[in-house]
Amino acid sequence: MIIGLTGGIASGKTFCSDFFQAKGVPLVDADVIAREIVQKGEPLLEQLKALLGKEVLLSDGQLNRAWLRRQIFADECLKKQVNDLMHPLIRERAQQQLAVAESQAAWIMYSVPLLFENALEMICHAVIVVDILPDLQISRGAMRDGVTEADIRRIMTAQLSREQRLSRANFVIDNSGSRVQTRLQCADLYRQIYQNFLTG
């Protein structure tokens, strides 16, 4: 059984998925895969260099994520070209990891920022949305390295609205409060999933 996990940028998906993973739930994380496929030496990094020039690399040969983020959110055509390179690889690796995990566990968490946008809820038995107040989303997101408030607002605009995500959720984790409050919600949800899906 696959449980999808999604939410807007800086909503706290990783904090929540870490909780479930610590409980022994296998995690397939699209963000982690996206970072893996652009590591130094990976073919995709060379493709991005061919498309965008040497500016896409840092002095050590690693991907310049902040620079790339600024470019793609300023140019929709370029954004599509980069996504067309990355998304098939991310989906392929995710499918491989899901297949392995499904053979080993009763349920798997599949964390995808653009789960609904890419219609990946179709392969999930249920979807958890990590929710956060927009002002908090902006302030927390802007604390990340190389990300400005303007960057966060652009990314939020490109994603589904908060209302759209919430309307399509089976479960919601409100991450606008303290970490303790979020952790308690995760624990309650962990119990609910077992009761509703795995014990009949």
Q: Is 119 annotated in some ligand binding site?
A: no
**DSSP letter for each residue of 108-150:** EEEE-TTTTTTTGGGG-SEEEEEE--HHHHHHHHTTSTT--HH
CA 74 to each of CA 63, 71, 172: distance values in angstroms, whole numbers, following the listed order: 18, 5, 32
Q: Is 167 annotated in some ligand binding site?
A: no
Q: 168 is written with which tokens?
A: 């399509």
Instruction: Give the span between the Cα atoms of 34 and 74, in whole angstroms.
Output: 20
Instruction: Give the span between the Cα atoms of 115 and 122, in whole angstroms.
Output: 9
Q: Is 177 annotated in some ligand binding site?
A: no
Q: Is 12 annotated in some ligand binding site?
A: yes
Q: Is 15 annotated in some ligand binding site?
A: yes
Strands (E) across 23-84 are located at 27-29
Q: Nearest 5°: CA angle at 138, between 141 and 175?
A: 80
Specify binding-site residues.
10-15
Specify binding-site residues for ATP.
10-15
